[in-house]
């Protein structure tokens, strides 16, 4: 498992790096070899009116059929933010593990989650621009075929408002989005 810890507009001290590695490593052990890589981003908000200015964001990429797990927490100091984000990740990891266990027990199969050499990983390319209102982040991702129900789980675990995926039924790109009323909407291209 690869773990990348980076600071946004700040240097991450060796003590903070070691603390994050230890705490987040415990979450990856909960997932029993499902974890491919972990991205940790630590930063401090510059606005003095924001009391909870220390922020920890963690993204865990798991091996298929597992989802991407993401959490963000803010606190008055970085160690507290890391502790809080680890708590959230542990709850999400247990939820994912329970769903996968129930799914595979029902089918009578249990997947092997050991990562083999040469496995495909989600590739992310990020670029930043200094212009206001412009594109500040770019991501490229592998669209895995899945059912809309699995896409809902991914959307919830990521904490986003929308999720792009390939429909397992007809291999067409779909967009799932969260509505203001708490329900979900699905955008499917015409003719599909």
Report DSSP letters for 9-28, one per residue: SSPPPHHHHHHHHHHHHHHH
Q: Are 60 and 159 in contact (CB under 8 A)?
A: no
Q: Are 35 and 61 in contact (CB under 8 A)?
A: yes
Q: Are 62 and 34 in contact (CB under 8 A)?
A: yes
Q: Dig out the tokens for 74 from the structure.
A: 């803010």
Q: Which domains does the chain have, with CATH numbers?
A: 1-111 (3.30.160.100), 137-192 (3.30.505.50)
pLDDT of residue 124: 37
Please give the residue that has the higher pLDDT: either 34 or 40: 40
For 125-182, the pLDDT digits (tens) are 334 434 456 677 777 777 888 898 888 888 888 878 888 999 988 889 999 998 888 8
Q: Are 79 and 167 in contact (CB under 8 A)?
A: no
Instruction: Determine if the peptide bond prior to 65 is cis (ω within 30°).
Output: yes
Of the ranges 46-60, 61-75, 114-128, the best mean pLDDT one: 46-60
Query: What share of the chain in percent tops pLDDT 70?
Result: 80
Q: Which residue has the tokens 């981003």?
A: 41
Kindly report the average pLDDT of the chain as a whole number: 80
Burial of 7 (0-12, 13-18, 19+ CB in 10 A): middle
CA 138 to chain centre: 16
Q: Rounded distance, CA 55 to CA 12, Å?
A: 12
| pTM: predicted TM-score of the whole model, two decimal places | 0.57
Q: How confident is the model at residue 112 (pLDDT cuts 50, 70, 90)?
A: very low
Q: Rounded distance, CA 189 to CA 156, Å?
A: 23
pLDDT of 113 strictly over 60:
no
Query: What share of the chain in percent tops pLDDT 90?
Result: 33
């Amino acid at each position: 498992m690869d773990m990348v810890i980076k600071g946004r507009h700040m240097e991450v001290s060796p003590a903070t790096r070691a603390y994050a590695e230890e705490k987040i490593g415990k979450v990856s052990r909960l997932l029993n070899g499902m974890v491919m890589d972990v991205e940790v981003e630590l930063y401090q908000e510059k606005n003095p009116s924001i009391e909870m200015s220390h922020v920890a964001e963690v993204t865990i990429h798991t091996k298929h059929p597992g989802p991407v797990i993401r959490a963000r927490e803010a606190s008055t100091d970085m160690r507290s933010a890391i502790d809080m984000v680890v708590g959230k990740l542990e709850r999400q990891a247990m939820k994912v593990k329970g769903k996968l266990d129930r799914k595979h027990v029902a089918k009578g199969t249990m997947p092997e989650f050991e990562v083999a050499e040469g496995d495909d990983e989600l590739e992310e390319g990020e670029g930043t621009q200094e212009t206001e209102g412009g594109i500040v982040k770019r991501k490229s991702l592998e669209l895995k075929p899945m059912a809309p129900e699995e896409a809902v789980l991914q959307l919830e675990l990521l904490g986003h408002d929308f999720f792009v995926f390939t429909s397992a039924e007809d291999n067409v790109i779909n967009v799932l989005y969260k509505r203001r009323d708490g329900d979900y909407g699905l955008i499917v291209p015409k003719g599909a």
